[in-house]
């Protein structure tokens, strides 16, 4: 197992949204309703998904839905915040310097890429449903952008604690630019509709390796011996 993958496992060891076995009966019902809403949004969209549909899919009553959520909008907000709570908890853990003791800048970038790819893959349905909610409720987008910005800020802080590895001039601006470019590359890689057709398809390992190599050359990081 590579060092990056080891760091990935530590980074994801504790998530805020509790597993079903750790939840109370009420929380399990709420989770089931959110899961049902998530599935239906992906199948039908937000407008075509009704409270009755959600209750039926979850094996609950309409009354149970309204017991947990004031209306459909409140349910959709909860769905969005369930996803973002996971990312916020992950960001909090990832920003802890103890998580990255002994890591080089290359390790940091590799871990960042691997975690984003793995988390997106494992939560693809939740992210897609949340994206649909954001499209209908744009005010939520500001919060999502804040989370992404905090992730990049935390990564920059960790990188700058190792600024001695950077050979490029104006290390902080160079590192910030590299992080912004990695974020943009990830967005394009994860959304096939944004990816130029002329680019050769890469699997995740290839994408991570080539991205880390690109950033390493730009920042003039030490070459492996």
Nearest CA among 223, 1, 3 for reference residue 110: 3
pLDDT at 218 over 90: yes
Distance of alpha carbon 109 from alpha carbon 208, whole angstroms: 9
pLDDT of residue 91: 78
Residue 182's pLDDT band, with cuts at 50, 70 and 90, is: very high
| pLDDT per position as a tens digit, 17-40 | 334 445 577 778 888 999 998 889
All domains of the chain in start order, with CATH: 3-219 (1.10.357.10)
More confident residue, 79 or 221: 221
Segment among 16-30, 50-64, 187-201 with least mean pLDDT: 16-30
pLDDT at 8 over 90: no
Contact yes or no for 33/68 (Cβ under 8 A): yes
| pLDDT per position as a tens digit, 129-154 | 877 788 888 788 888 888 888 889 99
- Residue 169 — φ and ψ, nearest 5°? -70, 155
Distance of alpha carbon 149 from alpha carbon 147, whole angstroms: 5
Contact yes or no for 40/72 (Cβ under 8 A): no
54 class by beta-carbon count within 10 Å (0-12 exposed, 13-18 middle, 19+ buried): buried
Distance of alpha carbon 109 from alpha carbon 216, whole angstroms: 9
Q: How far from chain centre, in Å, is Cα 38? A: 17
Percent of the chain beyond pLDDT 90? 33
The overall average pLDDT reported for the chain is: 82
Nearest CA among 63, 70, 58, 54 for reference residue 29: 58
Q: What's the CA angle centered on 163, arms 159 and 164, to 5 degrees? A: 140
Contact yes or no for 84/143 (Cβ under 8 A): yes
Nearest CA among 54, 147, 161 for reference residue 97: 161
Residue 5's pLDDT band, with cuts at 50, 70 and 90, is: very low
Tokens for 114?
């691997």
Residues 6+ apart with CB under 8 A from 189: 195, 202, 207
């Amino acid at each position: 197992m590579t060092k990056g993958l080891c760091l990935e496992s530590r980074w994801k060891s504790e998530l805020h949204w509790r597993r079903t076995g750790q939840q109370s009966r009420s929380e399990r019902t709420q989770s089931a309703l959110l899961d049902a809403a998530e599935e239906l949004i992906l199948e039908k969209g937000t407008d075509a998904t009704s409270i009755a549909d959600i209750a039926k899919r979850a094996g609950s009553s309409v009354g149970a839905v309204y017991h947990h959520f004031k209306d459909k909008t409140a349910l959709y907000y909860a769905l969005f915040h369930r996803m973002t709570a996971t990312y916020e908890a992950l960001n909090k853990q990832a920003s802890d310097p103890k998580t990255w003791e002994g890591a080089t800048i290359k390790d940091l970038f590799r871990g960042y890429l691997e975690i984003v790819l793995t988390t997106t893959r494992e939560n693809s349905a939740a992210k897609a449903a949340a994206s649909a909610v954001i499209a209908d409720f744009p005010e939520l987008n500001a919060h999502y952008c804040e989370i992404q910005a905090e992730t990049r800020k935390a990564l920059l802080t960790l990188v700058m604690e190792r600024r001695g590895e950077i050979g490029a001039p104006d290390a902080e601006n160079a590192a910030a630019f590299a992080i912004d470019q990695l974020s943009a590359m990830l967005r394009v890689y994860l959304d096939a509709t944004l990816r130029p057709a002329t680019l050769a398809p890469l699997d995740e390992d290839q994408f991570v390796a080539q991205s880390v190599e690109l950033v390493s050359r730009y920042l003039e990081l030490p070459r492996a011996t």
